[in-house]
Chain A
């Protein structure tokens, strides 16, 4: 079986996010790029499937972006145990999910993956569409928000998280594209042996920087969200804080 894991390099949660001079993207020079959280769970899930099947299953870590932002994340995936990598160089800032998915699909098509795993959404653009779009473009069956997977009778069973504490098992024939929810396993750390071995692993480099895919949606202006709410700050010693809270609960809101 051939499993692709789509990973993305995104600004770390602690990074300072500032709008750049163009107004339509952020200043990347002050940003530390790390792997998108749910993608690391997707990679772990793929590695565990490979270990369980214990056959010639191959896990391929796939990443798109410019080399500067992505190389560490790709190396880390290989060090954790992916068999090889595919680096899709894209110097452009692409923010249209459909255009991004087409670039992936066009470049992954000939690999004929049985399974594509991705994180449920990226913590930068947050569209939550890429895995499903690629699934459709490549004629695969799809499922999202997987919180458990099982291989059974040549199919994959996925436990999907629904809303309000409900769940559902769906069985998908291969090829399948499945998005993975955070928290479903314990992503491993790369071992020293893994880190050394990663240097010898094959990375296929492709370049889509000159692609002419049309963007059907565009960011026209980034802005800092403003709150319309007037917030009353309640500070001080415990007694005065509690007194003010009681006053609000009793007299303003009349809930106690």
Chain B
């Protein structure tokens, strides 16, 4: 059995989970193993409704009062029970912050390997080999796991939800989770945002994103004018937010939002891996940077090598004509 575990993100199936389902569908086909989808904890019954056409053989619901809100204690214990009972060959999730928070606990509890942040899957005859980035994405490595059950998490955009095979499920079942109040040692407060945001970058068609190369807050209007001339949303990499030049909800990357617009125009962004994971799913990437070796150019369709202080105002002016 291949078991994909869905994550709730404010009422919906997390985008990374949808990509993990695609990975699960492909693994299931390649290895000839049944695909099961587990809706665990928070909002699980709604997740099951949303996953009804994910072409899984089994849709499994695992709920309990003590995991109606997420905790690493509760989720790790509940998922460990499901895995022990069903003995799947592979357990798949998206490499989200929640997964980083609790899936290693399952790995330690059940003494099974967790191959995290996978970017690709290849096969050595029938045995899957997982690729991961190492040394800040300067290198990658192929990883082989040796265990009856292996836990896997996939980097955002390693698989595309466009490749989802649609189809109904044969079986629906409930898994009964056993938890006691004393199992939950930590106490979680409500999730909150620092600043109210009316901006949903994830649905923007055009994004102009600014990085450290802008040098000073005083230069920000250059990029804001370009975005406004193009009708694009403005976004940024982490340093710009850390310096307080733009609010956190404008941040793209592992600690910000993950976006996949029609065009991502990056301005003065070097392309650290933490940023790239949030935007590499963009349909087209155009990057302006004066450093010819900037890592952002490795994933760009168009590498504009030059001084943004000159190019951006000129481009804005031409668009406005």
Q: Could you tell me the distance between the alpha carbons of A224 and B104 in the complex, rounded to whole angstroms?
A: 27
**Chain A contacts for B304, CB-based, 8 A:** 234-235, 241, 245
B133 touches A218 (CB 8 A): no
With A217-B144, A218-B144 known to touch, is A238 a contact of B116 (CB < 8 Å)? no
With A26-B139, A128-B117 known to touch, is A253 a contact of B263 (CB < 8 Å)? yes
Q: Could you tell me the distance between the alpha carbons of A231 and B297 in the complex, rounded to whole angstroms?
A: 8
Q: Could you tell me the distance between the alpha carbons of A163 and B274 in the complex, rounded to whole angstroms?
A: 12
- A167 on interface, CB distance cutoff 8 Å: yes
Q: Could you tell me the distance between the alpha carbons of A171 and B278 in the complex, rounded to whole angstroms?
A: 29
B119 to chain A, nearest CB (A): 8
Interface residues of A in 40-62 (CB under 8 A from B): none
B134 touches A126 (CB 8 A): yes
With A17-B138, A217-B143, A246-B319 known to touch, is A171 a contact of B248 (CB < 8 Å)? no
A136 touches B76 (CB 8 A): yes
- A137 on interface, CB distance cutoff 8 Å: yes
B117 touches A165 (CB 8 A): no
* B136, B139, B302: the one within 8 Å of A19 (CB): B139
- B85 on interface, CB distance cutoff 8 Å: no
- A198 on interface, CB distance cutoff 8 Å: no
Interface residues of A in 120-164 (CB under 8 A from B): 120, 123-129, 132-133, 135-137, 141-145, 160-164
**Chain A contacts for B318, CB-based, 8 A:** 242, 246
Main secondary structure of the interface of A (DSSP, over half): mixed
**Chain A contacts for B102, CB-based, 8 A:** 132
A81 to chain B, nearest CB (A): 25
- A221 on interface, CB distance cutoff 8 Å: yes
**Chain A contacts for B299, CB-based, 8 A:** 227, 229
A166 to chain B, nearest CB (A): 5
* B97, B132, B258: the one within 8 Å of A161 (CB): B97
**Nearest chain A residue, comparing its CB with the CB of B114:** A129
**Chain B contacts for A239, CB-based, 8 A:** 314
With A171-B186, A217-B143 known to touch, is A101 a contact of B108 (CB < 8 Å)? yes
Residue among A19, A132, A183 with the most chain B CB within 10 A? Answer: A132
**Nearest chain A residue, comparing its CB with the CB of B101:** A144
- A96 on interface, CB distance cutoff 8 Å: yes
**Nearest chain B residue, comparing its CB with the CB of A11:** B135
**Chain B contacts for A215, CB-based, 8 A:** 146
Main secondary structure of the interface of B (DSSP, over half): mixed
Q: Could you tell me the distance between the alpha carbons of A69 and B243 in the complex, rounded to whole angstroms?
A: 33
* B101, B107, B142, B319: the one within 8 Å of A143 (CB): B101
* B191, B193, B306: the one within 8 Å of A241 (CB): B306
B107 touches A133 (CB 8 A): yes
**Chain B contacts for A212, CB-based, 8 A:** none
A172 touches B107 (CB 8 A): no
**Nearest chain A residue, comparing its CB with the CB of B117:** A126
Q: Could you tell me the distance between the alpha carbons of A14 and B251 in the complex, rounded to whole angstroms?
A: 26
A13 touches B300 (CB 8 A): no
**Nearest chain B residue, comparing its CB with the CB of A221:** B142
Residue among B98, B262, B263, B318 with the most chain A CB within 10 A? Answer: B318
- A256 on interface, CB distance cutoff 8 Å: yes
Chain A 63-104 near chain B by CB (<8 Å), digits 1 or 0: 000000000000000000000000000000001111001000
**Chain A contacts for B189, CB-based, 8 A:** 168-171
**Chain B contacts for A127, CB-based, 8 A:** 114, 116-117
Q: Could you tell me the distance between the alpha carbons of A19 and B298 in the complex, rounded to whole angstroms?
A: 20
B194 touches A216 (CB 8 A): no
B255 to chain A, nearest CB (A): 6
**Chain B contacts for A133, CB-based, 8 A:** 104-105, 107-108
Interface residues of B in 235-263 (CB under 8 A from A): 238, 242, 248-249, 251, 255-258, 262-263
B107 to chain A, nearest CB (A): 6
- A233 on interface, CB distance cutoff 8 Å: yes
Q: Could you tell me the distance between the alpha carbons of A151 and B145 in the complex, rounded to whole angstroms?
A: 40
B263 touches A255 (CB 8 A): yes
**Nearest chain B residue, comparing its CB with the CB of A240:** B306
B73 touches A246 (CB 8 A): no
**Chain A contacts for B190, CB-based, 8 A:** 168
Chain A 3-29 near chain B by CB (<8 Å), digits 1 or 0: 000000001010001010000001000
A165 touches B194 (CB 8 A): yes
**Nearest chain A residue, comparing its CB with the CB of B106:** A136
With A170-B189, A245-B286 known to touch, is A217 a contact of B113 (CB < 8 Å)? yes
* A160, A223, A238: the one within 8 Å of B139 (CB): A223
* B105, B115, B136: the one within 8 Å of A217 (CB): B115
* A97, A136, A181, A216: the one within 8 Å of B109 (CB): A136
B144 touches A220 (CB 8 A): yes
Selected A-B contacts with CB under 8 Å, 20 pairs? A19-B139, A97-B107, A124-B135, A126-B133, A127-B114, A127-B116, A128-B116, A141-B186, A166-B192, A216-B146, A217-B146, A217-B150, A220-B129, A220-B143, A230-B301, A231-B302, A234-B304, A238-B310, A253-B263, A256-B231
Known: A126-B134, A165-B256. 4 other contacts (CB 8 A): A161-B97, A165-B194, A220-B144, A223-B140
Binding site for B on A (CB under 8 A): 11, 13, 17, 19, 26, 95-98, 101, 120, 123-129, 132-133, 135-137, 141-145, 160-173, 181, 183, 215-225, 227, 229-236, 238-239, 241-242, 245-246, 248-249, 253, 255-256
